[in-house]
Amino acid sequence: MGYLDQTLTFESDKIYYSEDGTELQVMMNWEDSIMSASAAYVCQKGGDILEIGFGMGISAGYIQSHSINSHTIIENHPDVIPKAQAWASGKSNVTIITGSWFDVKDNLSTYDGLFYDTWGDDNMHQFSSSLSPLMKVGGVATWWNNEPTATNFYDIPNITYDTHNVTPTENCYFNHTIYYLPKCQH
C-alpha cells in the first residue's frame, strides 16, 4: 500500500500512520525551528511563494508571518488536504492546489521562493529537473534534507547549507542533532 492510501493519524505533536505494526511518522513538531528557518529563507525577498507539502502546517504558518504577495500550497494526501483547506480559509493570499505537484507543475506560475517538503513522493527524483522552470530569476529554494551532512541528494548546482542544532524526538526519518538546511538561489 502506498503512502497516499494510508490512513493518517493526527496528534498535536505529529502525523503518522501504522504499517505492519510500526508507527511511521510523516511530520513532527520538533521540526518547528527548521520550518521557521526554511520559511524565513524562502520569504526573504517577499513576493510569490510555492510550498510543496502542507504536513502539519508549521511552515505554512511561518510563511504567512512574512510579508509576501501570494502563497501557493500543493498537497496530495487525501487526509491532509481538508486540513490545508481549513487552514487556508480566510487567508486571501493562499491558494491550495490538490494533487501531485509533478502533475500540476506545468500549470503553475513562477515563484520568488519555493519550499519542498513531502513524504512518500513518487516524483521526488523529478524535483531537481523541475526546479528551474518554477523559479523567478533571483528566486530562492530550499527543501527538507534527510541527510546527516551537507550531501546534495538532488544534485542541484550551487547549493550552500546553514547548520541548525536540533533535538528530534524518536522517529523513523531523522535522528541527528545537526540539520543541514539547503539553500539555492536561481
Residues above pLDDT 90, as percent of the chain? 95
The pTM assigned to this predicted structure is 0.97
pLDDT at 113: 98
Helix (H) or strand (E) holding 61: helix 58-64
pLDDT at 186: 87
Tens-place pLDDT, residues 73-86 = 999 999 999 999 99
In the structure grid, which three cell numbers stand for residue 145, read together? 534534507
pLDDT at 1: 75
- CA dist., res. 117 & res. 81, Å (int): 15
